[in-house]
């Protein structure tokens, strides 16, 4: 058996000139194929960049058309948003207010509940409970937003109307609360990640001094995980601001410049939906207005996203 | 030095323990609120909608009369769009992930791509709708069609597919790759024969999660012009005459399940609430099934493969 | 007192399979191998010994251009493969081709999560062999060379991961042998195995050297003494001494070698 291996190796050794040329040709085709494959995969990866560029291009070009008709000053200071009326007004403030109030209510729900839940899951709960809660929270976050909109309109608002009999059918409180519950899993997941990244040794140092679990969690873990937790909040804000269906269904579609969550209002996202449902000729001011609104939304979420990611990166570098 | 006869009393321990017990209650309460909402939500849907679901409901078109309205055009539309989304989004996402994990070097282009992927994951879905409206519907002239909806959702789920595929690929230990290279395999051979097959379960999980998200997306689809009242089906993909395959359905107007639900919820009056709830039951049922499947797959994977 | 070493006092292999000429290697800015000129004797076992971090594995991985897989590495010098005396470190040389001529067995057994048969056949498939009968023949031959055939011949479709650690390592050896490499590199092949498995692999290597040149890195000096014909002792990326194993372990020329062998540092 070993002899045949020797014989074969001898055969390999006696390289004829054409064998060498053959090997070189094989090598060339192999390298060409590998390079072509790499090129194709690279193009696929570039699609993400192309998407971002296209989003910016589309939003900007239509908005430029919009701002040729509407002066920027009016856009930012007018208190009415009525682009489709006979006497049109193009102030973004009512839509902004609607977005901020509903998101604000949502955050008022998501941040306290989410943080407490995250601390509990990370520092107190048994692993069994954690194993059950993780998929449950995932499911909570996976429910389609239109279903949450239904929930806000048909269940939450009537329930709230029991507490405040004068509450209108469309208001910002109901959808705000639902948005809060919707982004809770997201906030919990990111905060928990941040807390779990804090090394055990820090906790052990605290326990060794006689601290209870709550004290350790509150005085050692949370401060150490702060930038990660705040990053979770910031990214949660971005989520809440971008939410569309819940507010479109349950908050009403009439722009209303108010800071009172008990009133109906329209958010930036709800306005875009409203216009899209109608029939607007391409190129009309109404059509362009949704891109201007979209641009505003994009800028807001972009700022919060970048902020949140920078904070997360810095947090990850520390641990 | 004389030892103390007994430890000094520690009153603060009792106080701190009470505080801790209180916090634990708070923690459980917040978790209960989350779980309770899920239960309440599904309960409300089932309570108000389950009776509406019957064969007639699944097979009828929407109608002005609530009792006769059905969800046929919606679930057919959803299915066809999912097909396009999967066919476009999955290969693109997996290819991009392979490039980023296996080929990309630490250059500014790679940084740029990665920043973009992370950023796109946080872009509100309605902005994808605006992108599609401007680019696909008007500039490319593809109209308000199934094709555009599928492309839009493909772009939407791209970041999810990329991130989950990268994680699945990263889990393959370097020793396996080195063994393949050591035997003379090229980079692509190592990827195609080893990395991809061994990470397929993880990649599949990511795809299921991505598609489950896509089914429930409403805002971008509304923006590109899906209608809430569609009383016809797109032309069938399989025809009775050669070449037996038709692509006309790609350019057809359409509706999807979440939009149908939205349409019914938005109509004033009690009658359509039941229909909306029924649509919701189906939607949530689909989402829960797909997510459940993904969770189960992940659980099975963790038990099976020990690297 | 250091004996001054003279080239004639050191033995040198008569027939070479490979040799390194002034080989240096750096990871980024860190110089890991310094000016190594070590011969690899044909159809014999050469072992590399030295304390942790001395660069033995780094040196080994130059022979099949494993470092090319990672960014920032740089080779200097040459590795000549006989009989053509071709420098396999040359930039024009495709690392894939080098790896088709040089086989490697790793420290921790790393079979693919495939069947036993497919593991051994993989190297052949990569070279374009698809004919079933030819594959069967080569797989059987490789498994016999690795002294594994009798144990697995009835369960070739079974998952490779169902084998014991020692069997898995022998499978990895079979996998490397299936493609008839000219040089077989082994990177601490028994460090993850129990003594019985280790003994069976050492026995296997002594048998294999009749048909393939072997270069083995080992942390275990006794293993080097048991198995190899030639030994190179490395320290912090440099060659301290090279010679016949028998001579190096009984009458080392350098004091440093003697200190290491007698366990004065490790």
Nearest-angstrom CA–CA distance, C135 and A141 = 52
| Chains contacting chain C through 3 or more C-beta pairs under 8 A | A, B
Distance of CA A125 to the CA centre of its chain: 27
State the pLDDT at residue A200: 85
Of C66, C69, C96, the CB nearest to B184: C96
The answer to whether the Cβ–Cβ distance between C83 and A13 falls below 8 Å is: yes
The two three-digit tokens of residue A188, written as one number: 């919990």
State the pLDDT at residue C6: 45
The answer to whether the Cβ–Cβ distance between B45 and A282 falls below 8 Å is: no
Would you call B197 exposed, middle or buried from its count of C-beta atoms within 10 A (0-12, 13-18, 19+)?
middle
Which phi and psi (to 5°) does residue C73 adopt? -100, 150
Nearest-angstrom CA–CA distance, C55 and C234 = 7
Structure-token match 């190899």, residue found: C228
Chain B residues with CB-CB distance to C103 below 8 A: 182-183
Nearest CA in chain A to C94: A27
Cβ B46 vs Cβ A151: under 8 Å: no
pTM strictly above 0.95: no
Whether the ipTM is more than 0.90: the answer is: no
Contacts of range B297-301, beta carbons closer than 8 Å, 24 or more positions apart: B297/B201, B297/B204, B297/B205, B297/B208, B298/B202, B298/B205, B300/B201, B301/B201, B301/B202, B301/B205
Cβ B27 vs Cβ A116: under 8 Å: yes
pLDDT in tens, C238-250: 999 999 999 999 9
The answer to whether the Cβ–Cβ distance between B176 and C112 falls below 8 Å is: yes
Which of C63, C95, C96 to mutate: most B Cβ within 10 Å?
Answer: C96
The answer to whether the Cβ–Cβ distance between A8 and C211 falls below 8 Å is: no
Nearest CA in chain B to A307: B119
The two three-digit tokens of residue A130, written as one number: 């954690």
Chain A residues with CB-CB distance to C210 below 8 A: 2
State the pLDDT at residue A102: 94
Of B177, B184, B305, the CB nearest to C99: B184
Which of B103, B105, B179 to mutate: most C Cβ within 10 Å?
Answer: B179
Beta pairing partners, C19:
C39, C80
Model confidence at C10: pLDDT above 70: no
Query: Is residue B216 within 8 angstroms of chain A, CB to CB?
Result: yes
| Stretch 130-169 of chain B: residues touching chain A, C-beta under 8 Å | 130-131, 133-135, 138, 155, 158-159, 162
DSSP string, C116-171: HHHHHHHHHHHTT---HHHHHHHHHHHHHHTT-HHHHTT-TTSBGGGS-HHHHHHH
Which residues of chain B fall below pLDDT 70?
Answer: 1-11, 228, 239, 242-244, 304-307
**Minimal C-alpha gap between B239 and chain A (Å):** 33
Would you call B60 exposed, middle or buried from its count of C-beta atoms within 10 A (0-12, 13-18, 19+)?
middle
Which of C17, C124, C126, C210 to mutate: most A Cβ within 10 Å?
Answer: C210
Query: Is residue C72 within 8 angstroms of chain B, CB to CB?
Result: no
pLDDT in tens, C37-63: 999 999 999 999 999 888 999 999 999
The two three-digit tokens of residue B191, written as one number: 């990827």
Cβ A90 vs Cβ A289: under 8 Å: yes
Cβ A63 vs Cβ A295: under 8 Å: yes
Tell me the percentage of chain A whose pLDDT exceeds 70. Answer: 94
Pairing of strands C230-235, C213-217: unpaired
Chain B residues with CB-CB distance to A151 below 8 A: 40-41, 44
State the DSSP code for A279: -
Q: Give me the half-sphere count of Cα atoms (radius 13 Å) on the Cβ side of residue B134.
A: 25
Contacts of A89 (CB under 8 A, 6+ apart): A74, A78, A79, A80, A81, A82, A83
The answer to whether the Cβ–Cβ distance between C66 and B182 falls below 8 Å is: yes
**Minimal C-alpha gap between B299 and chain C (Å):** 19
State the pLDDT at residue A75: 87
Of B24, B92, B280, the CB nearest to A120: B24
Pairing of strands C30-36, A81-82: unpaired
Going by pLDDT thresholds of 50, 70 and 90, the confidence category of residue A21 is confident
The two three-digit tokens of residue A32, written as one number: 């060409």
| C-alpha closest to that of C144 among C184, C111, C173 | C173
The answer to whether the Cβ–Cβ distance between A120 and B26 falls below 8 Å is: yes
Nearest-angstrom CA–CA distance, A224 and A119 = 13
Chain B residues with CB-CB distance to A140 below 8 A: 34-35, 37-38
The answer to whether the Cβ–Cβ distance between C123 and B183 falls below 8 Å is: yes
Query: Is residue C86 within 8 angstroms of chain A, CB to CB?
Result: no
Would you call C126 exposed, middle or buried from its count of C-beta atoms within 10 A (0-12, 13-18, 19+)?
buried
Q: Give me the half-sphere count of Cα atoms (radius 13 Å) on the Cβ side of residue C160.
A: 26
> In degrees, to the nearest 5, what angle opens at C-alpha B96 toward C-alphas B95 and B102?
85
The answer to whether the Cβ–Cβ distance between A51 and B158 falls below 8 Å is: yes
Nearest-angstrom CA–CA distance, A55 and B42 = 36
Of B105, B179, B184, the CB nearest to C100: B184
Model confidence at C22: pLDDT above 90: yes
Nearest CA in chain C to A3: C211
The answer to whether the Cβ–Cβ distance between A137 and B45 falls below 8 Å is: no
Q: What is the mean pLDDT of chain A?
A: 87
Model confidence at A1: pLDDT above 50: no
Cβ B218 vs Cβ A244: under 8 Å: yes
Model confidence at A186: pLDDT above 70: yes
Would you call C58 exposed, middle or buried from its count of C-beta atoms within 10 A (0-12, 13-18, 19+)?
buried
Query: Is residue B120 within 8 angstroms of chain A, CB to CB?
Result: yes
Query: Is residue C64 within 8 angstroms of chain B, CB to CB?
Result: yes
The two three-digit tokens of residue A203, written as one number: 């906790």
Nearest-angstrom CA–CA distance, A274 and A255 = 11
The 10 Å Cβ neighbour count of residue C164 is: 14
| Stretch 51-70 of chain B: residues touching chain A, C-beta under 8 Å | none
Nearest-angstrom CA–CA distance, B70 and C132 = 57
Nearest-angstrom CA–CA distance, B129 and B4 = 75
3-state secondary structure of C210: coil
Which of B35, B105, B116, B124 to mutate: most A Cβ within 10 Å?
Answer: B124
The answer to whether the Cβ–Cβ distance between A146 and B125 falls below 8 Å is: no
Chain A residues with CB-CB distance to B166 below 8 A: none
| C-alpha closest to that of A277 among B129, B275, B269, B70 | B129
The answer to whether the Cβ–Cβ distance between A145 and B223 falls below 8 Å is: no
Model confidence at A296: pLDDT above 90: yes
**Minimal C-alpha gap between A194 and chain B (Å):** 18
Model confidence at C189: pLDDT above 80: yes
The two three-digit tokens of residue A243, written as one number: 């939410």
Pairing of strands C213-217, C183-187: parallel
Nearest-angstrom CA–CA distance, A98 and A256 = 7
Query: Is residue C106 within 8 angstroms of chain B, CB to CB?
Result: yes
| Rounded mean pLDDT, C13-25 | 92
Q: Rounded to whole angstroms, what are the CA distances from B121 to A304, B162, C172? A: 13, 10, 42
Which phi and psi (to 5°) does residue B247 adopt? -110, 15
Burial A227-237 (b: 16+ CB within 10 A, else e): bbbbbbbbbbb
Beta pairing partners, C162:
none
The kind and range of the H/E element at C217 are strand C213-217
Least-confidence region, from A51-60, B269-278, C69-78, C237-246: B269-278
The answer to whether the Cβ–Cβ distance between C97 and A27 falls below 8 Å is: yes
Which of A44, A108, A237 to mutate: most B Cβ within 10 Å?
Answer: A44
Least-confidence region, from A32-41, B28-37, B66-75, C148-157: B66-75
| Rounded mean pLDDT, C74-98 | 89
pLDDT in tens, A98-148: 999 999 999 999 999 999 999 999 988 888 999 899 889 988 888 999 999
State the pLDDT at residue B150: 93
State the pLDDT at residue C1: 41
> In degrees, to the nearest 5, what angle opens at C-alpha B33 toward C-alphas B29 and B38?
145
Interface list for chain B against chain C, based on CB atoms closer than 8 Å: 105-106, 173, 175-186, 189, 193-194, 198, 305
Alpha helices in B174-270 (DSSP H): 174-182, 187-190, 196-198, 200-215, 219-223, 257-266
Contacts of B197 (CB under 8 A, 6+ apart): none
Cis-peptide, bond into residue C238, ω within 30° of zero: no
State the pLDDT at residue A41: 95
| C-alpha closest to that of B181 among A318, C70, A308, A224 | C70
The answer to whether the Cβ–Cβ distance between B131 and A238 falls below 8 Å is: no
pLDDT in tens, A136-156: 998 888 899 999 999 999 999
Nearest CA in chain B to C172: B179
Nearest-angstrom CA–CA distance, A14 and C60 = 27
Q: Rounded to whole angstroms, what are the CA distances from A69 to A285, A289, C111? A: 8, 10, 68
């Amino acid at each position: 058996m070993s002899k045949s291996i020797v014989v074969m190796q001898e055969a390999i050794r006696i390289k004829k000139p054409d064998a060498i040329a053959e090997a070189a040709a094989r090598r060339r085709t192999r390298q060409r194929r590998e390079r072509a494959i790499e090129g194709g995969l690279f193009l696929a990866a570039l699609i993400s960049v192309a998407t971002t560029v296209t989003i910016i291009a589309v939003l900007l070009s239509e908005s430029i058309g919009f701002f040729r008709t509407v002066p920027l000053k009016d856009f930012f200071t007018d208190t009415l948003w009525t682009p489709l009326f006979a006497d049109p007004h193009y102030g973004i403030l009512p839509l902004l207010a609607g977005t901020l109030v509903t998101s604000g209510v949502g955050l008022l729900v998501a941040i306290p509940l989410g943080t407490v839940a995250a601390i509990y899951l990370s520092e107190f709960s048994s692993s069994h409970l954690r194993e059950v809660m993780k998929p449950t929270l995932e499911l909570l976050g996976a429910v389609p937003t239109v279903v949450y909109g239904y929930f806000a309109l048909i269940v939450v608002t009537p329930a709230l109307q029991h507490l405040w009999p004068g509450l209108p059918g469309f208001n910002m409180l109901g959808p705000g609360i639902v948005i809060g519950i919707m982004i809770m899993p997201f906030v919990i997941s990111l905060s928990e990640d941040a807390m779990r990244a804090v090394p055990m040794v820090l906790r052990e140092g605290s326990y060794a001094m006689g601290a209870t679990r709550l004290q350790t969690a509150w005085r050692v873990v949370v401060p150490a995980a702060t930038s990660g937790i705040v990053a979770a909040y910031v990214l949660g804000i971005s989520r809440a601001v971008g939410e569309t269906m819940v507010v479109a269904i349950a908050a009403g579609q009439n722009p209303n410049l108010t800071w009172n969550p008990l009133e109906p209002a329209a958010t930036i996202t709800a306005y875009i939906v409203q216009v899209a449902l109608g029939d607007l000729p391409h190129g009309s001011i109404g059509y362009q207005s949704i891109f201007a609104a979209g641009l505003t939304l994009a800028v807001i979420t972009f700022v919060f996203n970048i902020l949140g990611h920078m904070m997360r990166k810095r947090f990850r570098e520390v641990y | 030095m004389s030892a103390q006869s007994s430890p000094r009393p520690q009153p603060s321990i009792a106080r701190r323990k009470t505080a801790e017990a209180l916090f634990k209650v708070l923690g459980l309460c917040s978790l209960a609120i989350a779980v309770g909402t899920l239960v309440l939500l599904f309960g409300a849907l089932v309570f108000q909608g389950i009776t509406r679901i019957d064969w007639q409901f699944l097979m009828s078109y929407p109608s002005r009369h609530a009792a006769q309205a059905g969800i046929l055009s919606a679930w057919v539309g959803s299915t066809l769009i999912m097909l396009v989304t999967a066919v476009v989004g999955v290969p693109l996402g997996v290819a991009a992930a392979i490039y980023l994990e296996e080929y990309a070097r630490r250059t500014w282009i790679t940084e740029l791509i990665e920043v973009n992927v992370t950023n796109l994951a946080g872009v509100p879905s309605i902005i994808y709708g605006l992108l599609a409206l401007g680019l696909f519907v008007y500039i490319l002239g593809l109209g308000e069609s199934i094709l555009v909806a599928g492309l839009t959702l493909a772009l939407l789920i791209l970041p999810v597919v990329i991130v989950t595929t990268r994680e699945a690929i990263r889990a393959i230990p370097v020793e396996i790759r080195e063994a393949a290279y050591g035997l003379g395999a090229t980079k692509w051979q190592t990827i195609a024969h080893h990395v991809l097959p061994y990470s397929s379960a993880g990649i599949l999980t990511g795809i299921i999660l991505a598609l489950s998200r896509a089914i429930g997306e409403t805002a971008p689809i509304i923006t590109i012009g899906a209608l809430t009242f569609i009383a016809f089906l797109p032309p069938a993909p399989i025809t009775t005459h050669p070449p037996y395959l038709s692509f006309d359905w790609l350019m057809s107007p359409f509706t999807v399940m979440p939009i149908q639900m939205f349409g019914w919820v938005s109509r004033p009056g009690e009658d359509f609430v039941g229909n909306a709830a029924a649509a919701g039951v189906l939607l949530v049922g689909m989402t829960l099934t797909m997510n459940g499947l993904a969770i189960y797959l992940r659980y099975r994977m963790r038990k099976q493969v020990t690297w | 007192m250091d004996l001054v070493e003279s080239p004639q006092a050191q033995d040198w292999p008569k027939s070479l399979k490979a040799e390194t000429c002034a080989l240096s290697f750096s990871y980024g800015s860190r110089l890991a191998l310094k000016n190594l000129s070590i011969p690899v004797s044909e159809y014999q076992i050469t072992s590399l010994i030295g304390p942790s971090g001395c660069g033995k594995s780094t040196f080994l991985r130059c022979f099949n251009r494993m470092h090319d897989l990672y960014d920032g590495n740089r080779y200097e010098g040459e590795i000549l493969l006989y009989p053509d005396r071709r420098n396999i470190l040359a930039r024009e040389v495709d690392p894939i081709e080098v790896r088709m001529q040089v086989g490697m067995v790793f420290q921790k057994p790393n079979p693919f999560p495939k069947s036993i048969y497919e593991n051994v056949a993989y190297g052949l498939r990569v070279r374009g062999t698809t004919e079933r009968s030819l594959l069967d023949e080569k797989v059987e031959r490789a498994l016999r060379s690795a002294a594994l055939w009798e144990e697995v011949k009835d369960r070739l479709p079974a998952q490779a991961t169902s084998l014991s650690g020692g069997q898995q390592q022998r499978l990895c050896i079979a996998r490397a042998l299936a493609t008839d490499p000219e040089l077989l590199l082994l990177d601490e092949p028994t460090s993850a195995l129990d003594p019985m498995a280790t003994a069976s692999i050492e026995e296997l290597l002594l048998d294999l050297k009749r048909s393939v040149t072997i270069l083995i890195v080992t942390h275990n000096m006794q293993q080097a003494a048991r198995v190899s014909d030639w030994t190179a002792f490395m320290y912090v990326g440099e060659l301290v001494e090279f010679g016949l194993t028998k001579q190096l372990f009984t009458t080392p020329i350098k004091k440093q070698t003697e200190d290491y062998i007698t366990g004065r540092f490790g």
